[in-house]
Amino acid sequence: MSSPWGTIDHGGVLVTLGQKSYPVVKKIGRAADLAARHDVPIIDCHKAWLIPGLINGHTHLELSHLAGQPDAHKGFTAWAESLFALMQAPAREEAIAHALSQLYQTGTVLAADMGGHNAPLVASIMERDSLVDVLFMIQRMGFAKPKDESLRPYAFARDLVDRYLPGGRFAYAGHALYSTHPRILQLTKAWCEEHNLPFALHLAESLDEVELMRDGTGPLAAVLGKSGLLPSWFVPSGMTPVACAHKLGLLGPTTLAVHCVHVNDRDVELLASTGTSVCLCPRSNVYIGVGTPPVASMRQAGIRLCLGTDGLSSNNDLDLAREMDAVLNVDPGLDLEGVLRMATRNAAAILGVDAQYGTIEPGKRACLAMLERE
């Protein structure tokens, strides 16, 4: 790692207790100097790199009980159909607790959790048992036309709003263009902007989605139409999902587009010119069988990128370091410093938590991780 990270060989971090008894960084410097000046216990990381704790930009903790069950490698529509059937089973507390533990054990300190009515269960487990913080992103879904020009709060989320909105750890999110009324998506984005929060939505994840939004055809169109989930008034846009999102005013500096696997050169230009950020979930894309995102093209266009594992319903684990490795394999021009930035500093800035997370600096929370040099 090089100078932009302020790398310190044989470095150390002096940690103290801050407000609410959270450990915070007091000083950074060479370990020998800090040890000589401060009579405190020392934890030796040996030959590992001490790095900012990792930030998972996209997951679904409430689906943790479905690990390994949905159809894999058969494409998006087959995976989604199997997931819909499995979601009849209730969320399991022990599965969520295990997922939070797995995040912590693999170096993640905060996760952006896109969820639904089980979010209060996730919150209770997190507060009771977990050292991982969660940014709750409650999905808005359904094609019911809004009754007025306001975003009606979900009843199950009212307590979450009271507890986490003041600290910037609650937001509403759009699910996707193919699952949420366009006006609801617009109102959700406006709500997020009003509260200075990121607006996330799944975008351009599969060719099935591209076909549906552009032409109204393909396997996803057939399944949604047959199930009645696609409204009779739906008219294909004749555009790519990214272009459609742009026309609806959904792109912009506060938007986090998740996946963006099937994007063309014009889509990349739109994402870049609007300042839209992208969360890459490459191992989830492989698990489902939707392809590989054009990481190099997006990176070279200046799009701010972060990483997510997605949920255990579309990945084998929640290890963000493995996601980093997957992205390095996809983009040979990317180096370790660049992929670490995605998983720390970029993610913190995109999610609006960079005052406390993302870098090792005095005054920030001492949420640290170790990375073996090998």
Ramachandran region, residue 368 (left: φ > 0; alpha: ψ -120 to 50; beta: rest):
beta
Helices 207-215, 76-86: axis angle to 10 degrees equals 100
Is the separation of the CB atoms in 210 and 240 below 8 Å? yes
**Structural fold of domain 54-355:** TIM Barrel (3.20.20)
pLDDT surpassing 80 at residue 150: no
* Local confidence band at 5 (pLDDT 50, 70, 90 cut-offs): low
- Quick count: other Cβ atoms within 10 Å of Cβ 263? 26
CA gap 74, 195 in Å, rounded: 39
CA gap 21, 10 in Å, rounded: 28
Tokens of 281: 């979930």
Which pLDDT value is given to residue 82? 94
Report domain extents, the chain. Answer: 3-44, 54-355
pLDDT digits (tens, 9 = 90+) for 329-357: 999 999 999 999 999 999 999 999 999 99
Residue 289: CB partners within 8 Å, gap ≥ 6?
72, 73, 74, 75, 76, 79
What residues does 279 pair with on adjacent strands? 258, 306
Which pLDDT value is given to residue 290? 98
Helices first, then strands: H and E counts in the chain: 15, 12
Taking Cα atoms as reference points, which of 302, 242, 307, 299 lies closest to residue 279? 307
Q: How many CA atoms lie within 13 A of 102 on its CB side?
A: 22
pLDDT surpassing 60 at residue 131: yes
CA gap 292, 307 in Å, rounded: 14
pLDDT digits (tens, 9 = 90+) for 255-264: 999 999 999 9
The pTM of this model reads 0.95
3-state secondary structure (DSSP) of residue 30:
strand
Mean pLDDT of 31-53: 89
Is the separation of the CB atoms in 354 and 324 below 8 Å? no
Instruction: Tell me whether strands 11-17 and 277-280 are parallel, antiparallel or unpaired.
Output: unpaired
